[in-house]
Chain A
Amino acid sequence: METYLYFRGVANLAADDDGTAGSLLMPLSKLKGMCMGTGAITGTITEDEDAFTLFFEPAGIGAGDGDVDAGDNDVDAVIIAITTDNEPQPVMQAIVEAINSHPNSDGFITIYDSVAGVTVHSDIEGVTTARASND
């Protein structure tokens, strides 16, 4: 069974309509890692005391050998904003624990949902996403 990670960072339900902070569901198997700082789709990390980034295999780029360009190497990024500066470890650990905490669940794990008020850790204060595409 595949586990999926759910993210939503919009202000209200009506704003849940795009790829910036709207509902996003990513397969756990596509998670490539987490890194302190704000990540771009190119993988560049910008120093940030109160955010870290989850990198995923890109959903919007196929595996074909089409019109190749540097952008084919891009990844998807989910940026987690945290309240406490320079202390991502407890939040990162909470994400790992959530991934492993319910072996008999339906595989749907809400990491952060601003609309429903659900989070795996109280220090998360927001989620934004940066999505790679084949343009």
Chain B
Amino acid sequence: MKTKFLHLCSTATKGANDDAAGSVVYPVSSIRSIGMGSMAVTGVISASETVYHIALDPMSISKGAGGAAAVLGDNVDVINVTMTTANNAKAHMQELVQKMNSGRPTESGWINLYDGVNATQLIADIASVANLHNDNS
């Protein structure tokens, strides 16, 4: 079984691909859940007909986080995906899961969810993505 990774690049400007709004890669194993609505790093979900969220283990906070910055340590990373078609999250979820679980030997393990710079995406109905990246400071 290959180790799958999810890539996204929120920005559409190549020159802006220089921070967490640019290319970001998460192991698929970091996904905690995918659900409808827009999520904040605190886990609060705001209703939206065109946005679903992928909640992830935070890339830049240790799993053993029990330090003084306890509130920060409890936050999660989030990818908010905006769809062109309202209320269409189930179709996206199914396609994403099929890709994550695909066992085709020709696949490398790299899943390009969305790349604004190169105008490529896994699902045609994705209009844009936003990455909410936590740090511990």
Give the B-binding residues of A (Cβ under 8 A).
Answer: 3, 28, 31-37, 39-40, 42-49, 52, 55, 57-58, 61-63, 65, 68-75, 85-89, 92-93, 96-97, 99-101, 103, 132
Contacts and interface: CB of A to CB of B under 8 A. Distances in A.
Given A69-B68, A89-B115, A75 B23 contact: no
Main secondary structure of the interface of B (DSSP, over half): loop
B133 A45 contact: yes
B62 A75 contact: yes
Contacts of B60: 32, 35, 39, 42-45, 55, 75
Interface residues of B, number: 46
Contacts, number: 161
B20 to A, nearest CB: 5
B35 interface: no
Contact of B24 (A35, A65, A73, A103): A35
B136 A36 contact: no
A47 B23 CA distance: 12
B90 interface: no
Interface in B75-120: 77, 108-110, 115, 117-118
A86 B25 CA distance: 15
